[in-house]
Amino acid sequence: MSSEGKTVLDLKGLLCPMPVVKIALAMKTIPVGAIIEATASDPGVVADIPAWARSSGNELVSLEKMGDREFRFLVKRLK
């Protein structure tokens, strides 16, 4: 019952709380099991996205620091 489509979001330039808000809004539009890939520049995402994933019951697949103000993460909708 899951699909492996991938949505890509560019969150660069957005500051708290917008990265978390945009991810939460995008989650509503994808089916369960689908993945969102996003890039962000706010260093706050390092703490915020894992916290959001734990709180909302979704999965943080990966979170990498690509550069000084560049972060890439993948989140999966679990419910």
Partner 1 sequence: MSKSDPIKPKRLAIIASKGTLDMAYIPFILGSTAAAMGWEVGIFFTFFGLTLLKPKIQASVTPLGNPAMPMKMPFGPKWFQNVVWPIPVFMMSIPGFQALATTLMKMTFKNSNVATIEELREICIQFGARLIGCQMTMDVFGFKREDFIPQAEIAGAAAFLEYAGDADVSLCV
**List of residues contacting partner 1 (CB under 8 A):** 13-18, 20-21, 23-25, 48, 51-52, 55-57
Residue 21 CB, shortest distance to partner 1, in Å, is: 5
Catalytic, out of 8, 15, 16, 61: 16
How far apart, in whole angstroms, are the C-alpha atoms of residue 33 and residue 45? Answer: 22
* Residue (4 or 68) nearer to partner 1, CB: 68
Q: Is 16 a catalytic residue?
A: yes
Measure Cα distances from 14 to 18, 24, 45, 48, 76 in Å: 6, 14, 10, 13, 21
List the catalytic residues.
Answer: 16
